[in-house]
Amino acid sequence: MTNQTGSTARQPLLDGMRGIAAFCVMLGHVRFNTGYFQPLEFSYLFVDYFFLLSGFVLTLGVEHKIGSRRAAWGFIKARAVRFWPMVVAGALIGALVYGMKTDWSAISVLLFLLVTNAFMIPAPVHGRSLFELNVPQWSLMYELLANVAHALVLRHLSEAALLRTAIVLGGLLAFWITVYGTNDLGAMTSNVPAGLTRVGFAYVLGIWMARRRLRVGEPTRSFVPWWVALLLPVALIMLIPGFADRALAEMIFAIAVIPLTFALLINEKAPAALAPVLSWMGALSFPLYAIHQPILSFATIQFDGIWTATFAISASVALAQVLAITIEARRKKPLAADKAPAPARNANA
């Protein structure tokens, strides 16, 4: 869900996909609270797209620079530092909403939640959200855990071992989806193992796809127009409500459709003239994802109907833009791992 800066060239379409995915997740949450945007009922599946994209981008841009345990811990630290401002922003807004809902009578509980949310410490209460003040924060924690596994373990695996791991995790994810009847997994304390499987499958597959790209090189032909590759996941996710067996449809989307559409996307190039717009979408995606839910919760207290949706969307985009601008300089600084000497490699991240 975060953008990776480094020495490698960027693929603007990946930035555009980040933005589209973040907008869709936000609109899906608006739908849940207001009833609008019904076709995006299953937009939470774009979280799997974020995990896949993260594994792919970090492998191309950074993995080869983590040549020692010291560099690995430097990478992990840099990732945590990059996550933290957005996590704190979401927790602070969530704390404000929590205080309003409780008339500030449970101040001790609020302070406890604020501290734990700000430092990514999940709640230990069974059957509750891992992060009460900002529920989507669960995926940020899981992605950070995936980054830790990447730096310490996954970077050592061969391409074949990564593919085998992804296949096993994909089978296990299919099992969890069957058990729970959905792939909306990971946010609750009751389905943490399923959530770890969810991020593990997508992230490991992203690493494998990046390794394969490094081995075979840049694509030499186009299969679909770039705009089709960019919008196809949105069109396909809107078809899921029409399936009688929605759990099976979610399973197919998470395990097959997302990887296939991503493979199409990384094979295409957008017109150079659109690069600034796509870059803006990518810059906006992380803060938008990180803060939209507590803003939506605030909107549901203050407004009704269409005004709830209007305020939530406009305020989320506006604040995300402010946060994107204020953290832009930090994002342009190289990760600690980038300082480690490494052999030159060609990659697009």
Q: What is the pLDDT of residue 348?
A: 38
pLDDT tops 80 at residue 65: yes
On the CB side of 151, CA atoms within 13 Å amount to 24
CB 151 within 8 A of CB 75: yes
- Let me know: does 199 contact 205? Beta carbons within 8 Å: no
Average confidence (pLDDT) over 49-77: 93
Longest CA span, the chain: 63
123 — phi, psi (to 5°)?
Answer: -70, 140
Measured CA distances, 28 to 41, 234, 262 (Å): 6, 12, 21
Query: Per residue in 266-317, pLDDT tens?
Result: 999 999 999 999 999 999 999 999 999 999 999 999 999 899 999 999 999 9
The pLDDT value recorded for residue 2 is 43
| 105-114 contacts, C-beta under 8 A, 24 or more apart | none
Nearest CA to 200 out of 162, 252, 233, 159 is that of: 162
For the chain, how many residues are written?
349
Q: How far is CA 175 from CA 56, 255, 258, 327, in A?
A: 25, 12, 18, 40
How far is it, in rounded angstroms, from Cα 15 to Cα 151?
23
Question: Which DSSP string corresponds to 168-228?
Answer: HHHHHHHHHHHHHSSS--SSBGGGHHHHHHHHHHHHHHHHHHHHHHHHH-S--S-SS-HHH
* Percent of the residues in the chain that have a pLDDT greater than 90, as a whole number: 83
pLDDT, tens digit, for every residue of 82-99? 999 999 999 999 999 999
Count the helices and strands in the chain (H runs, E runs).
Answer: 13, 0
What does DSSP assign to residue 1?
A: -
CB 151 within 8 A of CB 336: no
pLDDT class for 333, splitting at 50, 70, 90? low
Those residues with Cβ within 8 angstroms of residue 210's Cβ, 6 or more apart along the chain or in another chain = 55, 56, 57, 59, 60, 63, 347
User: Would you say 281 and 18 are in contact if contact means Cβ atoms under 8 Å apart?
Assistant: yes
- Tell me what the pLDDT averaged over the chain comes to: 90
CA atoms of 65 and 53, how far apart (whole Å): 19
Q: What's the predicted TM-score (pTM) here?
A: 0.90
Residue 347 CB neighbours (<10 A): 20
CA-nearest of 231, 278, 171, 253 to 24 is 231
Give residue 328's pLDDT band: very low, low, confident or very high (50, 70, 90).
low
CA end-to-end distance (rounded Å), the chain = 14
pLDDT on residue 344? 40
Tell me: pLDDT of 60 over 90: yes
